[in-house]
Structure 1
Amino acid sequence: MTFDKNSFSLAGKVALITGGARGIGQFYSIALSKYGADIFVVSASQKGWEDTTQKVEANGQKVAFLQQDITNPDAADDIVAAAVAEFGHLDILINNAGVQLRNDVLDFKDEDWRSVIDVNLNGLYYLSHAAAKVMAKQQHGKIINIGSMQSYRAGKRIFPYTASKHAVMGLTKAYADALAPYHIQVNGLAPGYISTEMTKPLQEDPVRGPEIAAHIPSGDWGQPEQLMGPMVFLASEASDYVTGVMLPVDGGYLLR
């Protein structure tokens, strides 16, 4: 392989992104389309579809959508089949969809445990499995799982989220090992504390906001745009010899 600027090109590639129309997921859709990938978005609702269409098409790429609950039985096979039917092949899977519920330890509800594990872990497992079947036949592919700071740390009020994100790291390694003979790389990206509408209440919390900022060496929360470069790297040929890695993009949060 010759390394040049085209090593980061995604021209001719198709990326399936769960939750890719809103929040940080939309930034992944925009990033990959900037480098030439067509985008297939799966989401539980149609929120953000129009805006995402405009932003992806502004980059000269195609985008298609499927409204689907990834926890439904057979959802994974249906999702992958729909992506292949739309674009003819599938090169990149980004398991971005996730949910977080919090409660005190003695009050945590069993149904909340199950709902978080179903989305964050089971949905990711089955979708990776379905995508791997297509990628193995092609003898190439990239699976990128979205981890978290809770892939490394405890979360004393978000038990299923912490468990799921630790498991995402483990599954990333297991799939990376198993799929390497098919020239499929499986990696993870672990965002640190990123400034979004969803995290705004946490930033503005008079106790936790300053605590988190003080834990980041620069003192600054991250911006969604700062996740775009690492995502393009993991999706491109530039990372063909990188597999089984969970890449923290956290401004050094884990250093302390």
Structure 2
Amino acid sequence: MSENHAPTPVPRPASDARRREPMFPDGPAPDPAGSHHERRIRSFQPRRSRVTTGQGEALRRLWPQWGLDVDGMRRLDLGELFDAPGLPVVLEIGFGMGEATAQMAAADPGTGILACDVHTPGQGNLLALAERNGLKNVRVANGDAIILLREMLAPDSLAGLRVYFPDPWPKKRHHKRRLIQPEFLALAATRLAPGAVLHCATDWEPYAEQMLEVLSAAPDFENTQPDGGYAPRPEFRPLTRFEGQGLDKGHVVHDLMFKRRER
């Protein structure tokens, strides 16, 4: 076909154009790390659900101040991020809708919580809770926690690490997607300060058993429990609605608390 007979472009419907525009131009990016990082098995799947009006408003107003994209392109200064040099900072991986995170932040204002997730409604909800309750010690990270740990956090920079109710990936062929693996623990150990605690919780019995086995074998960690078993739920970890529903169904929740060994 010659240039003189080229087909006339069909204008894209306005609705289609709107779908291609980011919902929150100054908010969390859909894929912050892009393609400049290696392809590998992920321990999470992005969850798409509706963002409420309140969550969306919180994202628009508060993300530039309290949010960050995990792009893997810079090293974070945690003192600058929290506007509090010397503040001990705990990383929480996967916070759901953020209710428990907000409760822990309110109960311990002397500790910063860097909360990482990929769930946009939860990000907006946590930001709204932080503003409503006057919490200055919460920052929300959007993206892959592995990239955050490996590329953006300095060695020995974390005062703790929390992994509460991660996806258990129950089917055997999916076990490789579970977050708590030897490779993850080796990376986490480099970012935790000596003596810092890695605290995990799960209501999936087989995953709890795997966690205990893998953590017990990790050379950089030691169990805080003298008997080498599970820990009682500490008072600072709130009983969430999700956990309460599981307990009502007869689920058993296991906490594991392992300390980063002194060098």
TM-score by length of 1: 0.46
More helix by share: 1
Give 1 or 2 for the bigger CA radius of gyration.
Answer: 2
